[in-house]
A = this chain, B = another copy of it.
């Protein structure tokens, strides 16, 4: 029962520190991340006392639980948001997503230009830094906005739509990047296939969401089994997740799309509220705190001591790139100054999506180390994880301040 012990410790730690965070006027997410960081630090220092916690992130079982956490967060985000309202903001969101990606990406490549040593992987490594800075973690932004009660505000909707665009583009770029590392012959063709598959994914899910979901909702009352609506939604979300992975996207995009097309009119108002309520319990009462603790657990302070300048510059560009890129774009599409600031800050959280992307690059061999590896390459993964955790930790604190200053 090691699993139950771990879940117990993580649940108590996250909910206690989450409560402490709220008492200090901060979103609960901040407390959950800190709980993860503390548990990770304690376990690294006193390995013998906490054998279950150290190495937790290597455990396939814990990984599965945190994957389910990400899945439920994205599903809940989709349920909360309405496709037609998102579409209303979609033109603005595309502008915000575009500018909010291009500037950080250019800054990232420039950072690579300055800090990375010349070598055969130089271009791919610099591009990786660009992609790492370009992303916005949808699960983290959703959670932050839910904590602040701003998910359905105009700026909230723009942040989430733009973040979804960002993640989809980043995943395409990453696919291209890994093909580049692999030295595959038909690069242009592979890239074309990738784009084609992503487009196909969105067409398939939208057609199913618009036509099949309402049909399913209408025949739902014919089924006699307990909790059939909840199962049907989960099955749809699992199917979309599997499809997303098949099409080269991350599964979170699939879970989000399934939630998005499950709306008030899919079944009826009562069933919608009931399923939403049940998904919320599983998400915020169980899996989301464990998931955010796992993000904190990944933190490894090594890079801070070895390549402090690089880490500092990475953090600066991470915040400034999104603040200026996405913030100016938000101002351009007509948002007020504080709203635009909220968008610029809100897009900064890199959360766990960054960890996913960094892990893919690591596994693809982009940061392969040897006896002569320069420090900046050796500690790149640690630096990127620090950036992911710090942006996710600071974003809700700043965002809370901005929203508090705004007239409601």
Residues of A within 8 A of B (CB): 1, 3-5, 7-8, 11-12, 15, 18-19, 22-23, 28, 60-61, 64-65, 67, 71, 146, 223-231, 234-235, 238-239, 241-242, 245, 251, 274-275, 277-278, 280-286, 289
Contact assessment for A282 and B278 in the assembled complex, using a CB-CB cutoff below 8 Å? yes
Contact assessment for A239 and B8 in the assembled complex, using a CB-CB cutoff below 8 Å? yes
List, in ascending order, chain B residues with CB within 8 A of A229's CB. 285
**What is the chain B residue whose CB lies nearest that of A235?**
B11
Contact assessment for A4 and B277 in the assembled complex, using a CB-CB cutoff below 8 Å? no
Give the complex CA separation of A235 and B11 in angstroms.
Answer: 7
List, in ascending order, chain B residues with CB within 8 A of A28's CB. 225-226
List, in ascending order, chain B residues with CB within 8 A of A224's CB. 19, 22-23
List, in ascending order, chain B residues with CB within 8 A of A235's CB. 8, 11-12, 15
Give the complex CA separation of A19 and B280 in angstroms.
Answer: 26
Known: A64-B61, A239-B8, A277-B277. A286 touches B234 (CB 8 A): yes
9 A-B pairs with the lowest CB-CB distances in the bound complex, closest first: A227-B285, A230-B285, A278-B281, A8-B238, A1-B245, A227-B284, A226-B284, A61-B64, A231-B285
Give which listed residue, B61, B67, B234, contacts A11 with CB less than 8 A: B234
List, in ascending order, chain B residues with CB within 8 A of A223's CB. 19
List, in ascending order, chain B residues with CB within 8 A of A12's CB. 235
Give the complex CA separation of A3 and B1 in angstroms.
Answer: 21
Known: A4-B251, A61-B60. A225 touches B18 (CB 8 A): yes
Give the complex CA separation of A234 and B229 in angstroms.
Answer: 23
Give which listed residue, B18, B64, B278, contacts A64 with CB less than 8 A: B64
7 A-B residue pairs with CB within 8 Å: A4-B241, A11-B234, A19-B224, A23-B224, A226-B280, A227-B283, A282-B282
Give the complex CA separation of A388 and B36 in angstroms.
Answer: 41
Contact assessment for B285 and A234 in the assembled complex, using a CB-CB cutoff below 8 Å? yes
List, in ascending order, chain B residues with CB within 8 A of A242's CB. 1, 4-5, 8
**What is the chain B residue whose CB lies nearest that of A65?**
B64
- Rounded to whole Å, the gap between the CB of A222 and the closest CB of chain B is 9
Give the complex CA separation of A22 and B64 in angstroms.
Answer: 32
